[in-house]
């Protein structure tokens, strides 16, 4: 790991954690990961194959953890790592050029739909940029404009300090984190090193629009995400045009609106169109309601829990280069 840090100029997670006034670090400590070398592009090299075969799922997300196979560490390069300030600045510069604030909502939705194919039960799917092969699925309606941003960003990165450093899957996560930041949400530092898939992930893993709250919770549980993480992540529905507030302001309006339930106002036609059916059922659910009340009353708590949940979601199913 030290060799890699010297060669690539990356900071270790423990160094990063000690620095003052850091954004929340997206470190991938708790997320599930899978080993599926055959669907990964570019062809895995010896280092990547060794990493995939040798590292247990949790250890793949914990390069600094005790017990990591020594051989993999000596070969070096594998596992999540952080961008240098120069690389992060290059990436931010590119997003500033290709991603106006109005695109922030679709970028945050894009990372969820790339991650959302992960199933802990089968150990496949996850954050691997397979979304590019899945844009025709009804679930993914409207996400082509998000993918276009990723393509444009990848092109613009050529010749910058971040050229060749990040995969398309990393860019999807970085773009979402950037979108959250520029709309006023928590600043999150993203680990990079995800491998891109060469084919679509299995279909039928995204939550259905008529799911009950408990069905949604079960769907997220199979992605390795618990109730608190589910409710915190859904807070990003405050972005976009579903009537939760300013479409490009990331705040806790979503939770306040769920408690007010404006869609039940029979006299107000406009208010009845606020939100989507899967949101409407959450405030009546005994598991979700206390979390909704907490985030409605305490925006900093929402930001903290959102950042932690985003970290976990951004690593589900990931194979690290
Ligand atoms: C049960 C879970 C979820 C369901 C059923 C769901 C469904 C939807 C639907 C139907 C839309 C409207 C799309 C449109 O008309 O443009 C939407 C928008 C959005 N979703 Fe979700 N979503 C879920 C969870 C999440 C999560 C976990 C995230 C993020 C981590 C997320 C992020 C977003 C964002 C940011 C938008 C606004 C996109 C835009 O305006 O372009 N959603 N979601």
d(Cα 312, Cα 229) in Å, to the nearest integer? 9
- One of 113, 237, 273, 280 is an active-site residue; which one? 113
- For 25, the 3-state DSSP assignment is strand
240 within ligand 1 shell (Cβ under 6 A): yes
Using the structure block, give the residue that is written with the tokens 């060469």.
198
Q: For 275-307, what is each residue's pLDDT tens digit?
A: 999 999 999 999 999 999 999 999 999 999 999
Is 105 close to ligand 1, i.e. is its CB under 6 Å away?
Answer: yes
Q: Do 13 and 27 form a contact (C-beta atoms < 8 A)?
A: yes
Nearest CA to ligand 1 atom 8: 276
Q: What is the pLDDT of residue 79?
A: 86
What domains are defined for the chain?
A: 2-204 (1.10.520.10), 213-309 (1.10.420.10)
Cis peptide before 134 (omega within 30 of 0): no
* Dist. CA 89 → ligand 1 center (Å): 28
CB 215 within 8 A of CB 207: yes
Query: Which of 102, 109, 236 for a ligand 1 pocket mutation test, highest count of atoms within 8 Å of Cβ?
Result: 109
pLDDT of 1 reads: 27
Say what the pTM is. 0.83
Q: Detail the DSSP E strand segments found in 5-84.
A: 24-26, 40-41, 81-82
Sites in the chain below the pLDDT cut of 70: 1-77
Establish whether residue 142 lines the binding site of ligand 1, counting it when its CB lies within 6 angstroms of any ligand atom.
yes
pLDDT in the model for residue 189: 87
Is 237 annotated as catalytic?
no
CB 209 less than 6 A from any atom of ligand 1: yes
Torsion of CA 224, 229, 230, 234, to 10 degrees: -140
**Mean pLDDT, the chain, integer:** 82
Q: How far apart are CA 82 and CA 192, in angstroms?
A: 6
Instruction: Give the distance (Å) from ligand 1 centre to CA of residue 109.
Output: 6
* CA angle centred on 171, ends 23 and 16, rounded to 5°: 30
Q: Name the β-bridge partners of 119.
A: 124
């Amino acid at each position: 790991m030290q060799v890699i840090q010297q060669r690539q100029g990356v900071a270790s997670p423990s160094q990063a954690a000690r620095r003052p006034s850091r954004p929340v670090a997206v470190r991938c400590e708790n997320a599930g990961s899978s080993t599926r070398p055959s669907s990964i592009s570019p062809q895995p090299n010896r280092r990547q194959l060794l990493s995939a075969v040798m590292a247990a799922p949790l250890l793949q997300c914990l390069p600094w953890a005790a017990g990591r196979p020594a051989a993999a560490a000596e070969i070096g390069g594998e596992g999540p790592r952080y961008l240098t300030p120069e690389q992060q600045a290059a990436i931010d510069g590119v997003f500033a050029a290709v991603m106006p604030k109005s695109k922030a909502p679709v970028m945050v939705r894009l990372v969820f739909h790339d991650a959302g194919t992960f199933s802990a039960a089968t150990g496949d799917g996850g954050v691997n940029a397979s979304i590019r092969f899945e844009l025709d699925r009804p679930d993914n309606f409207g996400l082509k404009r998000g993918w276009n941003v990723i393509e444009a960003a990848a092109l613009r990165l050529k010749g910058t300090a971040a050229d060749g450093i990040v995969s398309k899957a990393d860019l999807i996560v970085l773009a979402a984190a950037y979108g959250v930041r520029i709309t006023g949400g928590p600043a999150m530092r993203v680990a990079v090193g995800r491998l891109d898939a060469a084919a679509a992930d299995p279909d039928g893993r995204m939550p259905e629009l008529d799911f009950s709250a408990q069905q949604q919770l079960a769907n997220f549980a199979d992605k390795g995400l618990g109730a608190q993480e589910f409710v915190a992540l859904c807070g990003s529905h405050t972005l976009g045009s579903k009537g939760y507030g300013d479409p490009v302001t990331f705040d806790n309006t979503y939770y306040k609106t769920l408690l007010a339930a404006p869609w039940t106002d029979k006299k107000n036609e406009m208010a009845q169109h606020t939100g989507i059916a899967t949101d409407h059922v959450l405030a009546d659910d005994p598991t979700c309601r206390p979390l909704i009340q907490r985030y409605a009353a305490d925006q900093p708590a929402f930001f903290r829990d959102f950042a932690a949940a985003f970290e976990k979601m951004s690593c589900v199913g990931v194979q690290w280069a």
